[in-house]
Structure 1
Amino acid sequence: MSNPPKPSNYDLFRQADFNRPEHYPLDQSVSPELYRPLATWMGRLLLPKPEERDKVKGAWLELHHAGAEYQHLVGQVVYLRWHNLAEVMSRVWSAARDVYLSEEAKQSLAEGLVHPTRLDHWRLVTSLESLAGARPHNDVIVMLREPVEVVESPEQDEPASLYISREPIQITGRYYALVKFIAPVQSGGDLFRVVHFNRASRRFDGPEETVHLPETIIDTEALYRSTSHGIEQDPLNETGWYIAGAKNPAGTFVAQALAPRALLNLQPDQIITGRKAAVNFIKKQAWHETTERKGQINTVLLTTEGDEKAALDSWREGDQALLVNTYGGIGNGREPYPYPGGYYFGHFSYGRARVIREPLADALIFDLEYFQVFSSNGDGLVPGILHWTRYVGDRQFGFLGYRPVCDILLKLDCFTVPYAFAHRSISALERMSVFLEFVLHLYRIGGGSGGVYFGVANNCTQDSNQALYAAVKDLDVAFKDHPLVQDMLNRHPEEAERFDRLLTLGHDLRKTLLPTGTVRADWRYNFQLFEVSLNENGWMNILRALMTWRAMTPHWASTAVTTVFLAHGATAWVLRSNQVGNYDPEMVPKAIDP
């Protein structure tokens, strides 16, 4: 007799009402003084039926929040489509693939992995379809990056259409608040009294409210991803928490995601000046005493030159930074995915950080999004662009209480500040995100096979760094070959000097990521060989990996890339958390191995 299928964490987690989007009423009313929407445009993706594809031309979107002029659309199901621009259409259709689940993917379903089964036997699946159909149920919640073009039917006999040009960002919740926990309503219960932050007094003396902090579902390894018992006694409670979620049918706000305010604000615990000291911190101190610091955070600002005040003042509202993310393991013998010898190399991703003025506190904070290259997994984590509320802060699916996390934010003007032309602007950071969107779509569908299983040559670290390499190379080629760009550089020598610094940065990144001096074929040809290497096995995969050995493990890659950026004058923030919001004594954070 064959063994019964193993349940996935995704299936287990969906057993709880608070983990299912349909649990939350579409009609939500919150006080704008106490709550703010996570974004202007938000909703739940719905995969069209096969016979609807030609009509929908993308995905359905159950609209949860809209711009001020379009409030009448909230609660409706609308078309979500790609903008009909040549550049956008070229990106979309160059990545479209037929999907036929491989035998390996079908077999791994019984082992508890989640695959895009609803897309099986679909022709030319596009990225909106792969995002909407990544899981067995319609439960991917997203926010849309603006601008969003709205087209409504004059006769209103057809749903409205929303047109976008960039991939939607996965989120958890609809609204957020800034609160301090007072105490549980009943001892051991999951209803908590909270007090809201008062922007006028700059203290937590605003209105009190009861919120729901539901007990998370234990996973297949008998681990709780987060717990709430004792959160009111946590030292981080003094500076408050951002809670994200929505109201349940009873009208109680459910805190689906948490973020310590002290982790995201621009007030570092420590400032380190000097290149040597900054590099030493990245190499030797960033993961220091991880186990001993369970439940703690640490924020450090690094600058290679100048004084502390100048370094802090250089981060202003509107600034962007390259985010380098890694996470570590679980100690105490509880690591679900150990390597031989007890090692755990962790996970790697890039992302984007923005400095925004958060209106509830009227203060600058970091707004973080991650370009997550996930292999097929049992949690139902979808490769894509994930907001902090989803990737880190989500109490059930996120990593804040589950693993130690390290975010390094690198600000370097030649890489993160756009180059402005007559009709558009572009930065290396933006180009990298475009390349990664291509990769993320292919990961969602396994290059057409339905599943991705990491190897030494293709994994979160290698494929993220392929996009970094491609972004700088692409700008180099585009700028050299475009006469209008050359004319702009000739007329603006300061921009030419900044571009020269980008080329030098790219040269040093190439030497770092390609120590053999040979460019891998799948890197050289801008992902055209990506699916080939994704499914390649054996010695060829190993030889391919050795060409980029510094990008083989998360610790090597994050240290190497950060060191190069610091050498070129970048300033950096290091945001560290060690299983914050998890008060289970059996859970112990473990530092990432080199």
Structure 2
Amino acid sequence: MSWLRQRGYGWLGILAMLGCLVIGGGVSHSSLTLAQPPPLTFSDPTQYPAQQAPSEGYLPVAEWSGRLILPDRAAAEADDMDWVWVEIYTSPNPALVGQRVRLQWQGSPEIRDFLALVTRGIEFDEAANASLQKGIVHPTRLNGWAKVGPLQSLAGTRPQDDMIVALPSVILQPSGQEPVLKIDASPIQIPERFYGLVKVLGPAANQPAPEVCPGRQVCPSDYQQVQHYNPASQAFDGRIETVRIPQVPPAKTGVFQSTPQDLAKSATGQAGWYLYGAKNTEGTFVVWAIARVSCSNSSPKRPF
């Protein structure tokens, strides 16, 4: 499988960046399941329109990105090739943004040998079923499938079909009326489709408090005013915008793993923050992950 590692070098910057992320809005289904209160509205993928372009101050995280959608079992098992649906978020072809297309591997002998090696059936044993009773999330949609390939495994990990990925080395192949995307390297999980570089100014006025709050009876709003980086002046004197950095619910232990409180005062982010997210149906940019500039070991011009 050395060919996969060789193909992936260009994405190591993204992986290194994700290793530095301070999660602000991203919430896994498992943490939401175990949390009190029930899942919050910001985690619903339907709140983020697929067809949207980056606003001023934002760029796509990747040339090709999208949300993986698991096909039904009969359709998947009827095909020898490992494939899933992908709802396109960013693409060099604007006409494809917002469309659901088939994503599969390229058919080289090397890739077929790799798929034959890793494709397996899935059948939950007693231990897996017991852990389900404890609230641990498993890919239950894949249970009983005779064969599951890497793409189906990745899509099936999330019960809500909310796995967002960047796609390297894409070949767009017309197939009748339906285009097909073919790849020769594994997709890379990303927090969301767009990123921007900002300075956090503080909570926005006249905005609601979060639904849950660590340490205080009344939290300041998780809507934050931010000022964008201006490449021309190389300073944070760009447009001012109100974004949302959602307060995530506590873990099963009751501990909050992150909070946007006092983010503007944090010495960690004095050089700026990269925000990763997308606009919701109300037009507000919702942050799913943040990373401080110094974490990337790069200039403020690009995070990787």
Q: Does structure 2 conserve the Cα–Cα contact (< 8 Å) formed by 1:62 and 1:78?
A: yes
Q: Does 1:161 align with 2:185?
A: no
Distance 1:136 1:10 in 2: 12
Q: What is the aligned partner in structure 2 of residue 175 from structure 1?
A: 194
Query: What does 1:363-442 correspond to in 2, within 5 Å?
Result: 365=303, 367=304
Query: What does 1:497-516 correspond to in 2, within 5 Å?
Result: none
Normalised by the length of structure 1, the TM-score is 0.42
Distance 1:47 1:212 in 2: 29
Query: What does 1:336-355 correspond to in 2, within 5 Å?
Result: none
Q: Does 1:9 align with 2:31?
A: yes
Distance 1:238 1:215 in 2: 21
Distance 1:73 1:20 in 2: 23
- CA RMSD for the aligned pairs? 1.9
Q: What is the aligned partner in structure 1 of residue 251 from structure 2?
A: 219
Q: What is the aligned partner in structure 1 of residue 224 from structure 2?
A: 192
Distance 2:134 2:126 in 1: 13
Normalised by the length of structure 2, the TM-score is 0.80
Distance 2:232 2:30 in 1: 47
Relative distance call for 1:123 and 1:191 in structure 2 (3 A) is same
Q: Does structure 2 conserve the Cα–Cα contact (< 8 Å) formed by 1:18 and 1:256?
A: no
Query: What does 1:78-227 correspond to in 2, within 5 Å?
Result: 78-145=101-168, 147-154=169-176, 156=177, 159-186=178-205, 188-227=220-259
Structure 1 unaligned residues grouped into runs of 5+: 1-6, 267-357, 368-594
Percent identity (aligned): 37
Q: Secondary structure at the match of 2:241?
A: strand
Q: What is the aligned partner in structure 2 of residue 242 from structure 1?
A: 274
Q: What is the aligned partner in structure 2 of residue 65 from structure 1?
A: 90
Distance 1:237 1:125 in 2: 42
Q: Does structure 2 conserve the Cα–Cα contact (< 8 Å) formed by 1:179 and 1:194?
A: yes
After superposing on structure 2, the runs of 4+ consecutive aligned residues of structure 1 that deviate more than 6 Å are none
CA apart distance, 1:137: 2.4
Q: 1 or 2 for the larger relative contact order (CA 8 Å, sep ≥6)?
A: 2
Query: What does 1:13-24 correspond to in 2, within 5 Å?
Result: 15-24=39-48
Q: What is the aligned partner in structure 1 of residue 49 from structure 2?
A: 25
Distance 1:109 1:249 in 2: 33
Matching residue's letter, 1:129: Q
Q: Does structure 1 conserve the Cα–Cα contact (< 8 Å) formed by 2:82 and 2:150?
A: no
Distance 1:34 1:8 in 2: 33
Distance 1:129 1:237 in 2: 38
> Hey, which of these two has a bigger chunk of helix by percent?
1
CA apart distance, 1:10: 4.1
CA apart distance, 1:138: 1.1
CA apart distance, 1:239: 0.8
Q: Does structure 1 conserve the Cα–Cα contact (< 8 Å) formed by 2:105 and 2:111?
A: yes
Relative distance call for 1:213 and 1:163 in structure 2 (3 A) is same
Q: Does structure 1 conserve the Cα–Cα contact (< 8 Å) formed by 2:245 and 2:286?
A: yes
Q: Does structure 2 conserve the Cα–Cα contact (< 8 Å) formed by 1:12 and 1:217?
A: no
Structure 2 unaligned residues grouped into runs of 5+: 1-28, 206-218
Q: Does structure 2 conserve the Cα–Cα contact (< 8 Å) formed by 1:59 and 1:132?
A: yes
Larger Cα-atom Rg: 1
Q: Secondary structure at the match of 1:160?
A: strand
Q: Does structure 1 conserve the Cα–Cα contact (< 8 Å) formed by 2:165 and 2:187?
A: yes
Distance 1:262 1:81 in 2: 37
Q: C-alpha deviations, 1:242-264, integer Å up to 9, x for none?
A: 00000011101011111000121
Query: Which residue of 67, 70, 80 corresponds with 1:44?
Result: 67
Distance 2:202 2:30 in 1: 34
Q: What is the aligned partner in structure 1 of residue 289 from structure 2?
A: 257
